[in-house]
Amino acid sequence: MSNPKKKKRFSFLEARITSTLSVSLVLFILGIMALLGVLANNLSIYVRENIGFSIVLKESARDNQISDLQNSLGQAPYVKAAQYISKEDALKEVMIELGENPEEVLGTNPMQASIEVRLKAEYANPDSIAVIEKDLMQNAFIDNIQFQKDLIQSVNENMRNIGLILLILAAVLMVISYVLISNTIRLTAYSRRFIIYTMKLVGATPGFIRRPFIVSNIISGIIAAILAILLLTGCVSYIVSEFDSFYSLITLPTLLCVYAIVLVLGILLTSISAYFAVNRYIRMKRDDLYYV
């Protein structure tokens, strides 16, 4: 003959496991969204830091002037990297691209020495470059400054649009996730609604009644977050093994940031959902408990 208490305990444990797994899957989806957001930000920084401009030097530029300019660029807050390209190096690059030597045709090296500047991400926009250009052009030995204004504008607009789309998707997913987690936790609270009513009858305060439910759901949320983190780690490992280019974007700080977001969401969503789910049954009268 089966023991009703054991059967009831097993049923409650089964419901708790199902609830935790459901929450972990929701957190996994949120984790993917957070990972996409962080990756988009890293990609934006990577792309913008590979956009720069060329400082074309006049023939009359002296070595000490070029050296001073390089030193000042190295100390400038907007510069990530600066590389001097001599006339000879520029000619070699053109020879590789064209497959012939322009010097043999023209009788002289037509190239000019230049300094290739890569900007920090926050300065890779037309407004900042315009200010930098105005400042640099005060040097008389600089012939001109070349940068692709249309490309910079296009990159910034595309990155802004991607960020906006991800933000909207994240907001929608947060609402859906809260509803799913709330419904899952509400089912658990529903199964114990008479216990809640009994505790209220013996004089327990709402805070005292809520506390064990919130604590137990926070623990479930932490366990669900750990499961979601393990799933995310598996996905990231697979992506990095298949696509080497992602290795530079998915760094350890990036992963730790995503893991922290998943853990915080697991705690917040489960605790808030438990609070409101239990509150609903605390406010109910005895007769209403039979018809919910």
| Residue scoring higher pLDDT (133 or 227) | 227
d(CA 19, CA 101): 72
- Residue 279 near residue 210 (C-beta atoms within 8 A): yes
- Residue 266 near residue 23 (C-beta atoms within 8 A): yes
Amino acid at 56: V
Mean pLDDT of 177-200: 76
Q: Is the pLDDT of residue 8 over 50?
A: no
Instruction: Tell me whether residue 177 is exposed, middle or buried, using C-beta atoms within 10 angstroms of its C-beta: 0 to 12, 13 to 18, 19 or more.
Output: buried
Percent of the chain with pLDDT over 70: 89
pLDDT tens-digit map of 78-128: 888 888 888 888 878 877 777 777 777 667 777 888 888 888 888 888 788
Mean pLDDT of 3-15: 53
Q: Domain limits of the chain?
A: 4-46+155-290, 52-147
Residue with tokens 């023991």: 3
Mean pLDDT of 69-81: 86
β-pair type (52-57, 79-85): unpaired
Query: What does the pLDDT read at residue 230?
Result: 93
Instruction: Tell me whether residue 269 is exposed, middle or buried, using C-beta atoms within 10 angstroms of its C-beta: 0 to 12, 13 to 18, 19 or more.
Output: buried
Q: Is the pLDDT of residue 7 over 60?
A: no
Q: Is the pLDDT of residue 10 over 50?
A: no
Sign of the dihedral through C-alpha 285, 288, 290, 292:
negative
Helices (H), the chain: 4-49, 63-75, 87-98, 102-106, 126-136, 149-191, 193-201, 206-242, 252-283
Residue with tokens 């609070």: 275
Confidence of residue 292 (pLDDT cuts 50, 70, 90): low
| Residue scoring higher pLDDT (267 or 284) | 267
Query: What does the pLDDT read at residue 165?
Result: 85
52-147: CATH topology is: Alpha-Beta Plaits (3.30.70)
Mean pLDDT of 227-253: 82
Paired tokens of 284: 């109910």
Query: What does the pLDDT read at residue 183?
Result: 77
Kindly report the pTM of this predicted structure.
0.69
Please choose, from the candidates 32, 31, 34, 43, the residue with its C-alpha nearest in 3D space to the C-alpha of residue 249.
43
Mean pLDDT of 23-49: 83
The CB-side HSE value for 226 (13 A sphere, CA atoms) comes to 7
pLDDT tens-digit map of 127-180: 888 888 888 888 888 888 887 777 777 777 887 888 788 888 878 877 887 777
